[in-house]
Amino acid sequence: MVSLTDEELVKRCKAELPGDTRSYEILVQRYISRVYSVVYRVFGNKEEAEDITQEVFIKVYNGLKKFEQQASFSTWIYRIATNCALDSLDKMQRRPKIQIRLFNSKDQHETEQNDLDLHASMEAVPEEMVVRSELRECINNVLKKLDREQARLLLLRDFDDRSYEEIAKVLESGLSAVKMRIHRARLAFQRLFGQMCGSIHLSYSASTSGSSPKVKTKKE
Amino acid sequence: MNCDELAALLPDLVDGALSEAVRAEAEAALPRCPQCQQELEIARQVHALLFQLQTEHASLHIPAGFESRLLAKVRAQNSGKEFLDLSSKAFAEWLLEFIELVGGLLDPRVNGSLSPHSGTVS
Question: ipTM of this predicted complex?
Answer: 0.70
- Which of B8, B43, B77 comes nearest A58 by C-beta? B77
Average confidence (pLDDT) over B33-50: 92
Q: Please give the distance of CA B59 from its chain centroid, rounded to a whole number.
A: 25
Dihedral through CA A118, CA A120, CA A126, CA A127, nearest 10? -90
Mean pLDDT of chain A: 77
Which comes out higher in pLDDT, residue B100 or B69? Answer: B69
Write out pLDDT tens, residues A44-60: 888 899 999 999 999 99
pLDDT in tens, A144-174: 999 999 999 999 999 888 899 989 988 888 9
Pick the range with the lowest mean pLDDT from A3-7, A210-214, B58-62: A210-214
- A160 burial level (CB within 10 Å; 0-12, 13-18, 19+): buried
- The distance between the two most distant Cα atoms of chain B, rounded to a whole number of Å, is 117
User: Is B49 in the A-facing interface, judged by CB distances under 8 Å?
Assistant: yes
Query: Cβ B46–A193 below 8 Å, yes or no?
Result: yes
Q: Point out the residue among A159, A183, A189 whose CB comes nearest to the CB of B11.
A: A183
Q: What is the DSSP letter of B109?
A: T
Answer yes or no: do B52 and A33 touch at CB < 8 A: no
CA atoms within 13 A on the CB side of A66: 4
Q: Please, which residues have CB within 8 angstroms of residue B89's CB and are 6 or more apart in sequence?
A: none
- Per the DSSP assignment, residues forming a β-bridge with A103 are A110
Give the distance from residue B29's alpha carbon to the nearest chain A alpha carbon, in angstroms: 19
Query: For A160, phi and psi rounded to 5 degrees?
Result: -100, 0
- Using DSSP, state whether A45 is helix, strand or coil: coil
Average pLDDT on B6-12 reads 94
Task: Tell whether the model's pLDDT for residue B119 goes beyond 50.
Answer: no
Task: Grade residue A77 by pLDDT with cuts at 50, 70 and 90.
Answer: very high
In the prediction, which pLDDT does B95 show?
A: 74
Q: What is the pLDDT of residue B21?
A: 94
- Residue B39 pLDDT: 95
- Contacts B70 to A, Cβ<8 Å: 28, 32, 50, 53-54, 57
**What is the separation, in whole angstroms, between the first and last Cα of chain A?**
58
Long-range contact list for B116-119, CB < 8 A, 24+ apart? none
Give the dihedral of Cα atoms A134, A153, A59, A137; nearest 10 deg: 10
Q: What is the DSSP letter of A4?
A: S
Interface mutation target, options B70, B77, B79, B84, chain A, most CBs of A under 10 Å: B70
The answer to whether B63 contacts A50, with C-beta atoms less than 8 Å apart, is: yes
User: In b/e form, how buried is each residue of B20-35, taking b as 16+ CB within 10 angstroms?
Assistant: eeeeeebeebbeebee
Instruction: Count CB pairs under 8 A between chains A and B.
Output: 118
As assigned by CATH, the class of the A1-95 domain is mainly alpha
Helices and strands, number each (H, E), in chain B? 5, 0
Out of B48, B62, B63, closest to residue A215 by CB: B48
Give the CA distances from residue A1 to residues A219, B52, B110, in Å, rounded to whole numbers and listed in that order.
55, 39, 63
A182 in contact with B, Cβ within 8 Å: yes
CB B10 within 8 A of CB B42: no
Question: What is the pLDDT at residue B81?
Answer: 60
Whether A187 sits inside 8 A of B12 (CB atoms) is: no
Cα of A123 to nearest chain B Cα, Å: 11
At residue A9, the pLDDT reads: 93
* Contact list, B74 vs chain A (CB under 8 Å): 21, 24, 28, 54, 57-58, 61
> Residue A115 contacts by C-beta under 8 Å, 6 or more apart in sequence?
A97, A98, A99
Higher pLDDT: B91 or A53? It is A53
A78 touches A170 (CB < 8 A): yes
